[in-house]
Amino acid sequence: AQRVTQPEKLLSVFKGAPVELKCNYSYSGSPELFWYVQYSRQRLQLLLRHISRESIKGFTADLNKGETSFHLKKPFAQEEDSAMYYCALSHSYAGGTSYGKLTFGQGTILTVHP
Amino acid sequence: EAGVTQFPSHSVIEKGQTVTLRCDPISGHDNLYWYRRVMGKEIKFLLHFVKESKQDESGMPNNRFLAERTGGTYSTLKVQPAELEDSGVYFCASSPQWSTGGTDTQYFGPGTRLTVL
């Protein structure tokens, strides 16, 4: 069964410090990994996905299949980055039928102090 | 473009009562998903519609939960009779099309907070 683990429920850093939110997954097939974010009083929204290999709001995440990890990183945290972050996995068959359901980790609450 | 909407935003009911949650996906989105977050736990998948058909309902906890998607547009999730453990936040999400080779981005609604007393 697929599983996503976010070991830290809470993470606090100071503004300007680097931040890394950890995510490990277990899945036997070819996963698609995502990071979703929920800011205060806002809805859950996609932050980035591994297939895009892009940087959003200064955040990056690299899929490491050897370590089955998809850690989210930002070199200089900002106060507006304070939010709940969820790592999520979706099963995807290359060239076949896709399944969109997401398996989420428990989430990490990031607080960036001024 | 309007996002995914959910109604009501909050619902407080007593154990044994019935509650119906509604989700309006983004217009034109074929895929509609229901998820639930119980307090202290992760967000869990409930089911997936492709248009009006149930593609995957493996996450539905039991037969007290009934989901429908009339005409492939909005969806309802009925809980009857509600139990204490059904309390949580119910999210709906939609994505554009049932495509091959990848997963479309899911757009989430604001959620419905259900409290069963």
CA dist B97 and B100 (Å) reads 9
Token digits of residue A45: 């929204």
CB-nearest partner of A100 from B3, B91, B106: B106
Between the ranges A29-43, A85-99, B5-19, where is the mean pLDDT highest?
Answer: B5-19
CB contact under 8 A, A43 and B108: yes
| 8 Å CB contact between A112 and A15 | yes
Give CATH superfamily name and number for B5-116: Immunoglobulins (2.60.40.10)
CA dist B44 and A105 (Å) reads 9
Sorted by where each begins, the domain ranges of chain A are: 3-113
CB-nearest partner of B31 from A86, A96, A100: A100
| 8 Å CB contact between A109 and A76 | no
pLDDT greater than 60 at residue A95: no
CB contact under 8 A, A43 and B100: no
Point out which residues pair with A90 in neighbouring strands.
A32, A102
Residue-wise pLDDT for A62-83, tens only, equals: 889 889 999 999 999 999 999 9
pLDDT tens string for chain B (117 positions)?
579 999 999 999 999 999 999 999 999 898 999 999 998 889 999 999 989 999 889 899 999 999 999 888 999 999 999 999 999 999 999 998 766 555 678 999 999 999 999
CB contact under 8 A, B101 and A43: no
Output DSSP code: residue A97. B
Sorted by where each begins, the domain ranges of chain B are: 5-116
pLDDT at residue number B98:
63
Is beta strand A10-14 parallel, antiparallel or unpaired with respect to A31-38? unpaired
Point out which residues pair with A11 in neighbouring strands.
A110
pLDDT at residue number A94:
47
- Give the H/E segment covering residue B14: none
Residue with tokens 């205060």, as numbered in its chain: A40
Domain A3-113 of CATH type 3.40.50.300: no
CA dist B31 and B53 (Å) reads 10
